[in-house]
Amino acid sequence: MTSAPYLEDPRPDARMLPPRAAVRSDAPRMSLNGQWRFELSPTVEEAPAGFADPGFDDAGWAQLPVPAHWQLHGYGKPAYTNTRYPFPIDPPHVPTENPTGSYRRTVAVPADWAGERIVLRFEGVDSCFAVWVNGHEVGTAQGSRLPSEFDVTEVVRPGADNLVAVRVHQWSAGSYLEDQDMWWMSGIFREVSLLARPASGVEDVFVHAGYDDGAGMLRVEAPANARVLVPELGIDVAAGEEVRVEGVQPWSAEVPRLYDVAVVTPAERVELRVGFRTVRISGGLLTVNGNRVLLRGVNRHEFHPDRGRAVTEQDMLDDVLLMKRHNVNAVRTSHYPPHPRFLELCDEYGLYVVDECDLETHGFVHVGWRGNPTDDPTWGDAYEDRMRRMVERDKNHPSVIMWSLGNESWTGRNLERMYRYAKDRDPGRPVHYEHCPDGRWSDVYSRMYASQAETDLIGRREEPARGVDPVQDAARREAPFVLCEYAHAMGNGPGGLTEYQELFEAHPRCQGGFVWEWIDHGLRTRDAQGREFFGYGGDFGEELHDGNFVADGLLFPDRTPSPGLHEFAKVIEPVRIAGTPDGRLRVTNLHEVLDLGHLRFPWAVEEDGVEVESGELDVPHVAAGESVELDLPAKAGGDAETWLTVRAVLAGDEPWAPTGHEIGWGQVRLVERPRGAALPGSGAVALDRVRGVLTELAGLTVDGPRLDAWRAPTDNDRIPRDSAADAWRAIGLHRLRHRVVDVRDEDGGVVVRTRTAPAALDAGFLSTMRWVPLAGGGLLLDVSVQPEGEWPAPIPRLGLVCSLPAELDGVTWYGGGPGEAYPDTRRAARIGRFTSSVDALQTPYVMPQENGRRADVRWAELTGGGGGLRIEALPTGEGDPGTFAFTARRWTSADLDAARHPVDLVPRDRVWLTVDLAHRGIGTASCGPDVLPQHELHAAPVRLRLAMTPA
């Protein structure tokens, strides 16, 4: 039995004031952010008695900043589970061992606050708290990511120091509703403030600003004595009065036009930035201002590697700018309302928001949803209270185009209460919920991780029925379709984005979705040797955890964009530039409202990756949704492979990016690659005739190449049940053995035939490597690989691996770049000439795995220490693309496979070069569909011809 019964009581405390809009007001406000006295106790019962009394001596206590999580300041440890509750499922009870933080601080309340109503406001406390002022308990609250306010007028002494004491519990009944896939971290993690609320001030305000038929419609719910002023539009009307405003500019994510609105009573002035826009579902489509929207979205958790969810304004701005710069136009606030400032930034910079309530009961899935609070009426008030606090706080943001009830909470009556609350209070926004099996309590049909094939069926409205109620099913089938989560961005990937985007563009009903997720939640920490890395589940001693499943974002924890974000930005580019079959150029404007007038189109012609000509293309101001065909701006001259690259860049500064920022690009090949020729010469092939591998190449000491069919499994290879990587390991692809069949001198060269296979299997690969010395030095390699026997499963790759001297640290290549690329993640790689270093080629995934592959490579050079190796693919013409892909690393694939964090990868004294003949796609099987059939790799004959010469 707990001595703090409120923490196991799901019902909202009646002392909490009615929720209201977050607004900027000129009423007096004091921030209580900063250092508070703090002590952490292992149980509620052991929390210091009498700590809320003004006379209590806290001189011996430490200090903790507010806002912050105590686990990130040396108190307790963060813990990560995805869906499993880290405590027994015993609702509404929580363990007796319930870390409890006691917070104290004094605040000098100005004397002129006397006579005012005084309110204490918390923006977010995880997960439950009780608060005292000057020794008097004023209330308790749950709902970690929701605001709460308490009237403290009776107990505050203006003109004196006042003691605020808060007791925060890590676990509460509310924890059952907050089982989001993230770190369990506690404390006062958003701001605290003290407000003087003037009598007859603007207690609450609800702006209705629609846009229809070229005109705005404004009506502001506010106290009856309030005036509504919009100076820019010459509006000065009474609260509640509806005005039609001709010629107003609408708000959209692309053109986030805001108007300053003041709501004024004699006692208070409240300022808002208002956007005129109408969200509607009509004709089965989700529209904003009558336009179908295509959501190029991401799921955003609040995260910083040092601060956790206690994000700063700069962190929020960084997110918004990074999103805008990567063509993202929508955010789902998975799975709780964000810090209120984030929504202001979305209003200002232009992002559509699905504002999601702080609700997830996912852990009940592990007991067949038995006891799930979602359908238990004793939790009904708690559910409705959460929805109400979100809707009331966020109702004035034009960016919020949909409310979401929460995530993964199965189904039940309490969702109906949330849905009804939102619809009654705010008919102007559709409501989203994904997890009712028949699509109930949602105005859109939402799914997560549906495959491309199923998405296609849904787009055609040919999907199988769901649920048992035909009326409900018919309603669902009429609804617009949104993937509230797709393309799991864990580790290397996500693969298959292009195929989704094609469906979103082909089927009006498929209105896009939200990649899971925006940022890796890796917490910065150090190993025993003091080396820094980003920790994931298990790195903090948790007995129950879900490993690196918490690191599945498009950004690395420090907000460096991952290759996945570059790929996503390219796939969702709002301007598409492509060659046409008859040799022209098509520019398609995929914007929602913008024409192309805000962009410039610089072009360049490159021969063998070297620019020979450049200019700027004159593109008409094509309207949104339209396209234009133009003549190519340049003709090809030379014999070398020649590409035209046209880029779409900002013609002027935008608030989110400077002039010249690239939003899209396309390439057209003007001259095909000439057939590769190489002049045979005379010379020796330095071969270890026993092992069938070279010992010297281009003047360098080498060991290899050998045939290799392994890659360090990616999260997508490794995580699903019966994973691809399990099959590869079972076969033994990571422990191949080589048997030299024969070594023959032939036509001035050497032919080495080797059978490569894992122990205990009767299938293998027969590789034939024909080595011929070249006239200018170096060797020509003609390699063909023939599978033998029955290969029981698809394989990750087929290629060569060779070790080279460690001095070779500079890399230049002509092919796909600048970033890594795999068969289903290669849109962002353009054909060009790129320079890097071995170290910079590595992608530092939070969990080490296959990475850094450069694809579609014509030639590559590794240089350093006065020497170098050039590898050039010579097309054979027989289904051979005449390209290869490579990685260059200071460690082996086995090292990469064994490492758990990037710091485990200790450079060895060689560089390992892998050259791919074939490689499997990436897919998103860590959560979602696996590699699509067209990107799967089955054992099949492959061939490649490479000139390997000194560089």
- Tell me the C-alpha distance between 291 and 599, whole Å: 21
Q: Does residue 323 sit in helix, strand or coil?
A: helix
Looking at the Cβ atoms of 404 and 525, the one nearer to ligand IPT is: 404
Nearest-approach distance from CB 429 to ligand IPT, in angstroms: 21
User: Does position 408 bind ligand IPT by CB under 6 A?
Assistant: yes
346: part of which helix (H) or strand (E)? helix 340-349
Is 17:149 a contact under the CB 8 Å cutoff? yes
| 448: nearest Cα among 335, 561, 336 | 335
**What's the CA gap between 223 and 204, in Å, rounded?**
8
- Select 23 or 357, whichever has its Cβ closest to ligand IPT: 357
Q: Which residues ranging from 51 to 90 are in contact with ligand IPT (CB under 6 A)?
A: 82
Q: Nearest distance from residue 450's CB to ligand IPT, in Å?
A: 11
How many other C-beta atoms are found inside a 10 Å radius of the C-beta of residue 619? 20
| Residues 145, 336 contacting (CB under 8 angstroms) | yes
> Is 408 known to be catalytic?
yes
Q: Tell me if residue 317 falls in helix, strand or coil.
A: helix
- Taking the least distance from each CB to ligand IPT, the nearer of 384 and 485 is 485
- Residue 485 touches ligand IPT, criterion: CB under 6 A: yes
Judged by CB, which is closer to ligand IPT: 134, or 446?
A: 446
Rounded to 10 degrees, the C-alpha dihedral 122/125/130/136 comes to: -30
Shortest distance in whole angstroms from residue 410 CB to ligand IPT: 12
Instruction: Give, as ranges, the residues between 334 and 373 that touch ligand IPT (CB under 6 A).
Output: 335
Residue 545: CB minimum distance to ligand IPT, A: 14
d(CA 527, CA 420): 50
Minimum distance of ligand IPT from residue 549's CB (angstroms): 6
Find the shortest distance in angstroms from Cβ 432 to ligand IPT: 13
Cβ atoms of residues 881 and 854 within 8 Å:
no
How far CA 189 is from CA of 62, 138, 850, in Å, comes to: 17, 20, 37
Specify the length of the chain in residues. 951
Q: Which helix (H) or strand (E) holds 475?
A: helix 470-478
Residue 552 makes contact with ligand IPT by CB under 6 A:
yes
Task: Reply yes or no on whether 485 is catalytic.
Answer: yes
Output the smallest distance, CB 516 to ligand IPT, in A.
Answer: 5
CB 63 within 8 A of CB 242: no
* The 3-state secondary structure of 880-942, one letter per residue: CCCCEEEEEECCCHHHHHHCCCHHHCCCCCEEEEEEEEEECCCCCHHHCCCCCHHHCCCCCCE
Q: Quote the least distance from Cβ 551 to ligand IPT, whole Å.
A: 10
Q: Contact at 8 Å (CB) between 893 and 799?
A: no
Q: Residue 251 or residue 549: which is nearer to ligand IPT going by CB?
A: 549
Q: Does 178 bind ligand IPT (CB under 6 A)?
A: no
**Catalytic residue chosen out of the listed positions 8, 191, 392, 408:** 408
Residue from 178, 181, 456, 850 touching ligand IPT (CB under 6 A): that is 181
For the segment 441-460, give every residue that binds ligand IPT (CB under 6 A): 448-449
Q: How far is CA 224 from CA 136, 200, 227, 263, 395, in A?
A: 34, 10, 8, 11, 19
For residues 861 and 838, is the Cβ–Cβ distance under 8 A?
Answer: no
Q: Determine the distance from the C-alpha atom of residue 831 to the mean position of all C-alpha atoms in its chain, rounded to a whole number.
A: 26
Tokens matching residue 683? 């010379």
Please, which residue, 547 or 579, has the CB nearer to ligand IPT?
A: 547
Pick the binder of ligand IPT from 265, 374, 404, 407 (CB under 6 A): 407
Q: Closest CB to ligand IPT among 179 and 319?
A: 179
Nearer to ligand IPT, 516 or 534 (CB): 516
- Report the alpha-carbon distance of residue 311 to residue 189 in Å, rounded: 8
Q: How far apart are CA 520 and CA 181, in angstroms?
A: 12
Write the binding mask 304 to 333 for ligand IPT: x where contact by CB under 6 A, - elsewhere.
------------------------------
Please identify the residue of the shown chain whose CB is closest to the bound ligand IPT.
Answer: 181
- Kindly report the three-state secondary structure assignment for every residue of 400-468: EEEEECCECCCCCHHHHHHHHHHHHHCCCCCEECCCCCCCCCCCCEEEECCCHHHHHHHHCCCCCCCCC
Catalytic residue (choose from 485, 567, 592, 820): 485
Task: Pick between residue 332 and residue 827 the one whose CB is nearest to ligand IPT.
Answer: 332
Instruction: List CB contacts of 484: < 8 A, sequence separation 6 or more.
Output: 299, 332, 354, 404, 432, 434, 446, 447, 448, 513, 514
Residue type at 703?
D
Q: Count Cβ atoms within 10 A of the Cβ of residue 73 and give its class: 0-12 exposed, 13-18 middle, 19 or more buried.
A: middle
Work out whether 539 is an interface residue with ligand IPT (CB under 6 A): no
Distance from C-alpha of 533 to C-alpha of 811, rounded to nearest angstrom:
27
Closest to 887 in 3D by CA, of 796, 784, 765, 951: 796
From the centroid of its chain, how far is CA 766?
Answer: 42
Rounded to the nearest 10 degrees, the angle between the axes of helix 380-394 and helix 413-425 is: 30
Least distance to ligand IPT, CB of residue 348, Å: 27
> Residues binding ligand IPT: what is the number (CB under 6 A)?
13
Which distant-in-sequence residues (6+ apart) come within 8 Å of 315 by Cβ?
302, 304, 307
- Tell me the catalytic residues: 408, 485
Residues that bind ligand IPT (CB under 6 A): 82, 181, 335, 407-408, 448-449, 485, 488, 516, 549, 552, 927
